[in-house]
Amino acid sequence: MNGENVMMLTVLPGVQGKRMVGEDGMEGINDLVHENSMLQTENNNLRVRVKAMQETIDAQRARLTQILSDQANQALTKAGGSCDTTNLIPKTQHCLC
């Protein structure tokens, strides 16, 4: 390694804001690096929670669809197999999508 590369490796963490020199002259790591790391961890944890919630929503949607289908089939059976299905499935105000 030439001298310029060694110097860049030494200076780079300081330029990036990771290293700092405290009042006592000791070298340390900037608080923002710690905060950024904690925020990234929290962000990853929240992503996992959102994914789990989405899977729950999808499962509930599938269950609701199955229940509505079963109700429609029961109504069809009670109606004697009539082809008039306009009133079998209740009209909802909210989309299930």
- For position 64, what pLDDT does the model report? 97
Residue 2 has pLDDT above 60, yes or no: no
Strand ranges inside 1-97, DSSP E: 19-21, 27-29
Contact 29, 19 (CB under 8 A): yes
User: Which are the contacts of 40, defined by CB distance < 8 A and separation ≥ 6?
Assistant: none
pTM: 0.51
d(CA 59, CA 86): 27
The residue ranges of every structural domain in the chain are 30-67
Which pLDDT tens digit goes with each residue over 38-80? 999 999 999 999 999 999 999 999 999 999 999 999 988 888 7
d(CA 17, CA 15): 5
Tracing tokens 């989309």 back to the chain, one arrives at 95
